[in-house]
Structure 1
Amino acid sequence: MNVADIVKETAARLPDKAALIFQDKPITYGELERSIEQAAAGIASLGIRKGDRVGVLVHNIPHFVYAYLGIERAGGVMVPLNTMYTADEVSFILADAEARAVVVAEPFLRAVDGLRETLPMLEHVVVVGGGSPIGTMGWDQMIGRGEAPPSATIGEEDLACLPYTSGTTGKPKGAMLTHGNLMANLEQMHRVPLLSEAETDVVLLVLPMFHIYALNVSLGLTFRVGATAVLQERFDPVASLDAIERHGITVIFGAPPMFVAWLSTPNVEKRDLSKVRLAVSGAAPLPGPVLEDFERRLGITIWEGYGLTETSPGVTSNAMGAEAKPDSIGKPLPDVELRLLDEQGDDVEDGDPGEIAVRGPNVFRGYWHDDAATAEAVRDGWFRTGDVAYEDEDGYLFLVDRKKDLIIVSGFNVYPREVEEALYRNPKVAEAAVVGVPHPYTGEAVKAVVVLKPGTSATEEEIIEFCKRSIARFKCPQVVEFVDQLPHTDTGKILRRRLRDDEQPAEETA
């Protein structure tokens, strides 16, 4: 069971079918399989053996796919690296993973400059595109070294991928995902009729493939069924809409900022999006008003899901139910067990919020070189996600917030997500985030950071008064800051930590 075999099997069945379309040029499954074989042979020629870690610092181009599945075919463990990382961040992850090699695209060479001198384990730097500086090797040079593909025997418990968590709450940790984890989650999603792709589908692949959502959902599910992925290097609202029209995109895997950006694109209603049959949102909570606006204006239903790096990533989806409920993350995928736990680790009463705990074949093996963090996160076989949700009478789950983001005002719990939903109902608000700030009287107060829609204006008092119409006074912001944009991770999660770093104490008010 090797995750790279999904392409081999599909290539045997559909050798002339387009697997990828990049810059309007198709790459067939047969061509893709040959490129993966070449990559595997070249990687093995570097001395990479079963279990060795190999970093990949490559953007959304076909060589990312060649490197990823070539590493898997050779028996190695792929360490995906965020292309927005600084040199220090790349160095930290490669050192922590004890990577023996790194594949890097030419635009990101600066991030690995000199690392071979500072990281004793790092033996090879392979460069995709451009020249090969002294001490590095070009991609074509590497694949020219290999003669025959390796024959590593891979089992479902063998490590396949070591993605590092986004680090929104601290230093990144490597999540050990096995071949069995990745394949299990592919099958879990494939068993959901609404989520399952078909050979005839054309998928927009614009999310960064270094993220597990794009890697195993957008890419993996596409190859699993023999569909075609239209690969874009980066997200641009207009360019992606052009691609949807030009290529007849039928499936979109996106993140909330993408859907928000499309809604803000001039004349978006005049675009021909008629072939889109499935739009999925993940990686960060999708505000209910965005879902409703997207369906009303464009006639496309967005099916929100929930997942984590540690769960390969899928856990729940609205597609498991009969409707796409606004603000809901849906119901658990097949073979995913889910509980909502209180502070004592017991199941909560019906309707009460509790921490999501997950068990299933898609749940990771633990954190790399961090037994303490693993023991804290996985107890009695259940992975404690740190996310809080409640279940309604129909069995749909609603994400409340992360435990760490909880704001306590005069002893009352305030979940940022609830306040943000109130803010999103304001027609002038494009995006909003809420954090807690110190308050001399109530302990903490709610601070809202707001991005207004183009051409609108609002005052702090106006925003606060609007919130008072729908949520309790203690939940309403006491401070409102207007900004041009919010800080996000690569896939749309709001970096609350950065907002907290800028926080100022709220004034004392009764």
Structure 2
Amino acid sequence: MNLSEQLSMTARKNRHKTAYIFQDKETSYMELDVAVTKFASRLQQLGYKKGDHIALVVSNSPYFIIGLYGALRMGAVVIPINPLYTSHEMSYILRNGDVKGIITMDVLLEKFEVIQDQLPDVKYYISCESEDDLSLANSPLSSKMKSLSQMVAEGSLEFKDPGTDDEDTAIILYTSGTTGKPKGAMLSHQNIYSNAKDVADYLTINAEDRVIAALPMFHVFCLTVALNAPLMNGGTVLIMPKFSPQEVFRLTQNHNATVFAGVPTMYNYLLQSADNHQDYFTGIRLCISGGAAMPVSLLKNFEQTFNVKVSEGYGLSEASPVTCFNPLDRPPKSGSIGRSIVNVDNKVVDELGQEVPPGEAGELIVRGPNVMKGYYKLGEETAAALKDGWLHTGDMARMDDEGYFYIVDRKKDMILVGGYNVYPREVEETLYDHPGIAEAAVVGTPHPETGESVLAFVVAKDTELNEPDLLAFCKGHLAKYKVPSKISFLDELPKNTTGKILRKNLREQIEQ
């Protein structure tokens, strides 16, 4: 069984039930399934075959769902990419991921026009229409351009099933690594199907639920918890193009939402906007938090204000992503990421791989049907991450005597900005690309709204180099959330006797 087959089964049982609501328009399961099949058949007609890689660079919309499920149905490997990425950031993923087709919004096509010469293997750019009603006739990509809506209209229900196996790669999620370039985590059909099913079962997401998809769909948290899980059991997805507290309140009131999933920053914004909106959440039975640790005070204030339970969990791209959630049949433990979900094992080990006693800190490792096949074209990195069937997360954790896990430290030096992972090495390499920079180091610092922000310390070759110019350079090469909030110029960076930059000393400078 895979996600595409499950969608067809649900559509046959619930022809007229609402699969999703977008801009107050309802679409039934049968309408969705027909669109998926027609899109899949049209991809085949264009020459795409099982195993071809197709990038999905689409914001939250029905286009994302049709693009994802349609490409999976015809056996393609889908590579979701953040639409906020610059051309520079997308170029590496598209080239490394051997992409042959790109599904994207018409307003983003300019980004691909800049790098089209670097992508000779891309046969077609499949455009999703926005409200801007853009004329694309003069686009340099026009000869390779197709309309997703037109493809669905022209597609056939006489679809040839490619015979997808459970172990075939379904999705490659590119996740930034501490060593520099993003790594593509290969998730099989079994990986993503099992995690969606197990999450839905653990959180009792059912056909009566209406789940708000406010998180970006390209992110695996939303992909599994707010999209695949409800569609798995015949629920309804309430699609938000962009998060806003007022829109969340409107959806809960007008469309009877029952489940909300978000990162702590979203909960903070909702709490700050709570005036006279508390009653709007009366129908919400469950709130799900992930992506970063939620401050205990925020969790308690939110639950008291809106009279709703918040279940914190834990996951990572390499695990499709969920491994832990706080159980729903008892009060959650403050500060805990919860217990292992069904069919997934978590344990804490020392440097020798031996399990440590409850209360003792060590590395969190994970095993289950949700764990990735490996990193695309990276054998050594795969061997380092997967050992004896266990995924080594790199996160330090402890477990109490009731099986609840607590993250005590994050992957070394990682910065969490509004729930997004930012790895210093990636920002540093961008800074090093500037001809006026001799040295660079990046650290995170607490931020009241985004959780953390990025701070950069540089040693300049050119005394005339200034912060505004360097920030402008970063904005041209990095997504907005990765751009440093401040850049400090130093005569030299603190180092140890081996020449290693001492980030701890830089953090101490911030705190002084």
**What is the TM-score with the length of structure 1 in the denominator?**
0.80
CA distance in 2, matches of 1:124, 1:447: 40
1:179-258 counterparts in 2 under 5 A? Answer: 179-192=189-202, 195-258=203-266
CA distance in 2, matches of 1:336, 1:271: 37
Cα offset, 1:243, TM superposition? 1.2
CA distance in 1, matches of 2:6, 2:210: 18
The alpha-carbon distance between structure 1 residues 79 and 20, as it changes in their structure 2 partners (threshold 3 A), is: same
1:61: which partner in 2? 61
CA distance in 1, matches of 2:449, 2:18: 42
The alpha-carbon distance between structure 1 residues 349 and 266, as it changes in their structure 2 partners (threshold 3 A), is: closer
CA distance in 1, matches of 2:102, 2:35: 18
Amino acid at match of 1:174: G
1:151: which partner in 2? 161
Cα offset, 1:268, TM superposition? 5.0
The question of 1:96 aligning with 2:93 is answered: no
CA distance in 1, matches of 2:178, 2:110: 24
Which digits, 9 at most, give the CA deviation of each residue in 1:449-489, with x for residues without a partner? 34389xxxxxxxxxxxxxxxxxxxxxxxxxxxxxxxxxxxx
Match of 2:402 among 394, 408, 427: 394
1:327-476 counterparts in 2 under 5 A? Answer: 327-405=335-413, 448-451=445-448
Cα offset, 1:203, TM superposition? 1.0
1:171: which partner in 2? 181
Contact map agreement 2:399 2:405 (CA 8 A) in 1: yes
Cα offset, 1:389, TM superposition? 0.9
Cα offset, 1:114, TM superposition? 4.5
Cα offset, 1:265, TM superposition? 0.9
User: Unaligned 5+ residue runs, structure 1?
Assistant: 407-415, 418-432, 436-445, 454-493
Moved over 6 A (4+): none
1:479: which partner in 2? none
1:138: which partner in 2? 147
2:112: which partner in 1? 112
CA distance in 1, matches of 2:489, 2:195: 39
Contact map agreement 1:45 1:145 (CA 8 A) in 2: no
Cα offset, 1:288, TM superposition? 1.2
Contact map agreement 1:165 1:175 (CA 8 A) in 2: yes
CA distance in 2, matches of 1:261, 1:355: 32
CA distance in 1, matches of 2:123, 2:104: 14
The alpha-carbon distance between structure 1 residues 508 and 277, as it changes in their structure 2 partners (threshold 3 A), is: closer
User: Unaligned 5+ residue runs, structure 2?
Assistant: 417-421, 425-442, 451-480, 491-505
Contact map agreement 2:200 2:206 (CA 8 A) in 1: no
Contact map agreement 2:347 2:366 (CA 8 A) in 1: yes
Cα offset, 1:104, TM superposition? 0.8
1:34-73 counterparts in 2 under 5 A? Answer: 34-73=34-73
What SS class does the counterpart of residue 161 from structure 2 fall into? coil
CA distance in 1, matches of 2:511, 2:324: 42
Cα offset, 1:500, TM superposition? 9.9
Amino acid at match of 2:216: P
What SS class does the counterpart of residue 8 from structure 1 fall into? helix
Cα offset, 1:125, TM superposition? 0.8
1:26: which partner in 2? 26
RMSD between aligned residues: 2.9
CA distance in 1, matches of 2:276, 2:396: 35
Contact map agreement 1:40 1:150 (CA 8 A) in 2: no
Cα offset, 1:141, TM superposition? 3.9
What SS class does the counterpart of residue 121 from structure 1 fall into? coil
What SS class does the counterpart of residue 231 from structure 2 fall into? helix
Which digits, 9 at most, give the CA deviation of each residue in 1:27-86, with x for residues without a partner? 000110111011101111221111110001111110111110000111101110101100
Contact map agreement 1:339 1:347 (CA 8 A) in 2: yes
77-86 vs 266-275, which moves further: 266-275
Which digits, 9 at most, give the CA deviation of each residue in 1:403-462, with x for residues without a partner? 4139xxxxxxxxx99xxxxxxxxxxxxxxx9x9xxxxxxxxxx98534389xxxxxxxxx
Cα offset, 1:120, TM superposition? 1.9
The alpha-carbon distance between structure 1 residues 320 and 344, as it changes in their structure 2 partners (threshold 3 A), is: farther
Contact map agreement 2:260 2:284 (CA 8 A) in 1: yes
Cα offset, 1:320, TM superposition? 6.3
2:289: which partner in 1? 281
The alpha-carbon distance between structure 1 residues 166 and 206, as it changes in their structure 2 partners (threshold 3 A), is: farther
- Give the number of aligned pairs: 436
Cα offset, 1:502, TM superposition? 5.6
